Structure 1
Amino acid sequence: MHQLAAPAFAEIEIKKSRFLGQLYPLHSRTEARDRLSQIRAAHPNAVHVCWALVCAGESGLDDDGEPSGTAAKPMYNVLVHKEVTNVLAVVVRYWGGIKLGAGGLTRAYGQAISEAFKMAELIAVETMADIHITVNFADETHARRTLDKYAAQVTDVHYADMVQMAVRLKEKQIDALIIELTEQLKGQVTISTL
């Protein structure tokens, strides 16, 4: 899975209609709503502002008056094909006076987003994971230094018979962290994944 490093834009013209393809990195439906308000304000003469959102648990589509399935769905299909997340795809359409038909619209909206992707820089999404680490009091400082080395974030600490830490880090680093902590603390550590 990937996400955008920065916004990307492209413009195509089909039978005198202009299609402005736009891609924005974001992380919520609220951010998308704000961005769409800005875009509509910047393009008061556009006939349609269609969009597709792919975001963790908050996806959405809007044909904005175009025939159902001819605008947002082809845009969404491009996002799925490119395997991106946390992205808002927008196409602003300026009417050129010639009807394109359902097939023409579908191709135009999908192509506008595909062209914007040619300008986009994609970065890999790193999956985070939560683990629990339990160490002796005397080993806490050493464990924290090792966690810092892996840029792991301690999200909670509980002091009882031993020190129990809830930790968040990149999923791909868990195995290396477990090996290093186990060796350094001579096995005096308990690590469990959630």
Structure 2
Amino acid sequence: MIYRLVEHYQYEQEIKKSIFLAHAVPVTSEDQVHEWLEKLRVLEARHNCWAYRIGQKYRSDDDGEPSGTAGRPILQVIEKQNFDQVLILVVRWFGGIKLGAGGLIRAYGGTAAECLRQAPCAEYIPQKTVSILCAFSDHALLKARIAEYDAQIIGEEFGAEVEMKITVPKNAYTALYDRVLDLTRGQAVIIDTEEAEN
């Protein structure tokens, strides 16, 4: 099961006199990641370490901490808790006591983990958008049956034939595709609008 944040959430804790403030933010593009980093970075703080994951894209930054002690532990938390489309920024104000590599990994990873545990989230089900072109005689039947696949109609246009624009969970798309062709005796045309836009 994959999760996605519902809204921006923050969590703060003190570890050996250093303050760690984590921000968990829902993001859908790298542009949004950069916008949030600009907005949330605290220049007066010693370190602004972060990681994000958006589908197959991910990145992390230690921002001056020893390599692998901040950004990577934050990214591992995102992966371990099965989050997608999320950015976590952990801001550290140095309190004068060095934590060592193990201490930094635990501090950054632990702060990020607790932030995600407390943040409001929802199950994330990847969706696919398609258009179905069908005859008027098949419209009512298709409309009734696509709900079995958790598909949602987001638009309909009536012309020489009916065009239904729908979203369907990606894992149900192949079964829906086969069912639509079966119900219309192979007469319906299914257009993958995501491929058409690329």
Q: For the superposition of Structure 1 and Structure 2, which TM-score range results when normalised by the shorter chain? A: 0.7 to 0.9
> For the residues of structure 2 that align with 1:96 and 1:86, how far apart are their CA atoms?
32
> For the residues of structure 1 that align with 2:52 and 2:86, how far apart are their CA atoms?
6
Corresponding letter in the other structure for 2:3: H
Deviation at 1:119, TM superposition (A): 1.4
8 Å Cα contact 1:50-1:64 kept in structure 2: yes
Residue of structure 2 aligned with 1:142, choices 133, 140, 153: 140
Local SS of the residue matching 1:32: helix
TM-score with structure 1 setting the length = 0.78
> For the residues of structure 2 that align with 1:20 and 1:155, how far apart are their CA atoms?
47
Local SS of the residue matching 1:6: coil
Deviation at 1:127, TM superposition (A): 1.9
Matched, 1:37 2:38: yes
Equivalent in the alignment of 1:5:
6
Unaligned runs of 5+ in 1: none
8 Å Cα contact 1:21-1:90 kept in structure 2: yes
The 3 A distance-change label for structure 1 pair 167 and 156 is farther
Equivalent in the alignment of 1:70:
69
> For the residues of structure 1 that align with 2:36 and 2:142, how far apart are their CA atoms?
40
Deviation at 1:135, TM superposition (A): 2.8
**Aligned pairs, number:** 187
Equivalent in the alignment of 2:97:
98
The 3 A distance-change label for structure 1 pair 152 and 177 is farther
TM-align CA RMSD = 3.4
Per-residue deviation, residues 41-74 of structure 1 (Å, max 9, x unmatched):
xx33211100001013432111111111000000
> For the residues of structure 2 that align with 1:88 and 1:69, how far apart are their CA atoms?
17
Corresponding letter in the other structure for 1:11: E
8 Å Cα contact 2:156-2:162 kept in structure 1: no
**Within 5 Å, which residues of 2 pair with 1:30-179?**
30-40=31-41, 43-130=42-129, 133-136=132-135, 138-139=136-137, 142=140, 145-146=143-144, 150-153=151-154, 167-171=166-170, 174=173, 175=175, 179=179
Deviation at 1:147, TM superposition (A): 8.4
Per-residue deviation, residues 100-155 of structure 1 (Å, max 9, x unmatched):
1111101100011011023112211122235564533x337537855896423469
Deviation at 1:34, TM superposition (A): 0.9
Equivalent in the alignment of 1:20:
21
Which stretch shifts more, 44-53 or 55-64? 55-64
8 Å Cα contact 1:135-1:188 kept in structure 2: no
8 Å Cα contact 1:156-1:167 kept in structure 2: no
TM-score with structure 2 setting the length = 0.76
